[in-house]
Amino acid sequence: MGLRIHFVVDPHGWCCMGLIVFVWLYNFVLIPKIVLFPHYEEGHIPGILIIIFYGIAIFCLVALVRASITDPGRLPENPKIPHGEREFWELCNKCNLMRPKRSHHCSRCGHCVRRMDHHCPWINNCVGEDNHWLFLQLCFYTELLTCYALMFSFFHYYYFLPLKKRNLVRNVYIN
């Protein structure tokens, strides 16, 4: 399982990747600016929660880049098939190359991929034998970042804002 660099030239995939990077940058800047930093300055949350947010966001971006540029398991043009395994190989009717039976031809990438799961437009790459674990890692970090951001958004609107309003009302009555 070599992690070779692999790029797919697909306008639809580049558009989806651009959208993902835009949403990530938007959240990387906006969530801390609106939710985390103000509540840190008010003393409602510790600074470690901000560091955890940025850490998860960076892990998410690194997983996205790794999943999108890693070779999914593209088959070589002239594979060396061991004599005892020839019955487990078949001819691809689209690219006329020999491939293992669990391989599939990707119409977007234009080649066969070992143990191909699907072509994901969000990473602009196939998910196959060599990058499947990277794709799962991306899904895990994305889910973790989403839950973390949703948790802070929930606390912002249903805990911190009413707390701020209560403190404002209390300060008005005291002064």
Per-residue H/E/C for 94-160: CCCCEEECCCEEECCCCEEECCCCEEECCCCEEECCCCHHHHHHHHHHHHHHHHHHHHHHHHHHHHH
Residue 55: CB atoms within 10 Å: 12
Q: Both tokens of residue 138?
A: 């991306």
Q: How far apart are CA 158 and CA 145, in angstroms?
A: 20
| Residue-level pLDDT at 62 | 93
pLDDT score at 174: 56
Confirm whether pTM is higher than 0.85.
no
State the Cα–Cα distance between residues 40 and 122, nearest whole angstrom: 34
Please give the Cα distance from 85 to 7 (Å, whole number).
30
Half-sphere exposure of 153 (CA within 13 A, CB side): 9
* Active-site residue (options: 60, 106, 109, 120): 120
User: Angle, nearest 10°, between helix axes 132-155 and 11-31?
Assistant: 40
Consecutive 10-residue runs of the chain (175 residues): their mean pLDDT? 60 80 83 82 85 92 90 79 73 79 83 86 88 93 89 75 55 52
pLDDT value at position 141? 93
Per DSSP, what are the bridge partners of residue 74? 113
Distance, CA of 124 to CA of 69 (rounded, Å): 9
β-pairing verdict for 111-113 and 118-120 = unpaired
Q: Active-site residue 60, yes or no? A: no
